Amino acid sequence: MGEQKLFIPKGYRKTKQRESILKVLERAEYPITAEHIFMELKNDGIDISLSTIYRNLEMLTKEGLTVKSYMMNEDKARYALPDKKNYLVCEKCGKIVIIDNCPFDKFKEELIEVHGFDITGHSIEVYGICPECQKK
C-alpha cells in the first residue's frame, strides 16, 4: 500500500495526451494554466492540441483529480492536483507558496454545525507580501 500514483479514472481511455497532462500537473509546484501545460509539453517534444488540454482538464476536474482556481488579477483558470489547491500569493512578485496542513480542516465541524452543510471541498486563496518583497 504505497503512495496512490496518478491514475486515469475508470471509464476513460489511457492516451499519451492524457498521461502527459497528468505528468505536468504532478511535477508542478503550484496551480498552472492550460497554456502553461501546453508550453511545458511542447518543451518535452510532445505535440498536443490546446483544446485537448482543456477537454481533459474539464474531465479531470469533474472527476475530482484536479482542482480549478482563479488568481487575483488574472483572467485565466489554473489547475492543480488537490494537494496544491490552497496557496499564498505575493502581491508584489507573484510568488506562490502552497499551504499544506490546511488549517481550515479544523473548522469543518464548526461550519457543519452552524450551517448544516455537508462539506465536500474547499479552496483558499490568501494574499500578502512575501518575506523577500518585505525587505525591498
Task: Kindly list the residues in this chain that would bind a copy of itself in the complex (CB under 8 A).
Answer: 68-70, 72, 88, 90-91, 97, 99, 103-104, 107, 110-111, 115-131, 134
28, 77, 90, 102: which one binds DNA (CB under 7 A): 77
Q: Choose the contact partner of 128 out of Zn ion, a copy of itself, Mn ion, none; CB within 5 to 8 A by kind.
A: a copy of itself
- CB contact at 8 A, 88 and 43: no
Name which of residues 65 to 94 contact Mn ion (CB under 5 A): 75
CB atoms within 10 A of CB 88: 16
| Minimum gap (Å) between residue 5 Cβ and a copy of itself | 26
Can you give the binding site for Zn ion, defined by CB under 5 A? 90, 92-93, 95, 130, 133
Cβ proximity to DNA: between 61 and 102 the closer is 61
Q: Which residue has the cell 490552497?
A: 86
- CB contact at 8 A, 10 and 64: no
Cβ proximity to a copy of itself: between 8 and 130 the closer is 130
CA–CA dist 88, 86 (Å, integer): 7
Please return the burial class of 95, using the count of CB atoms within 10 Å of its CB with bins 0-12, 13-18 and 19+. Answer: middle
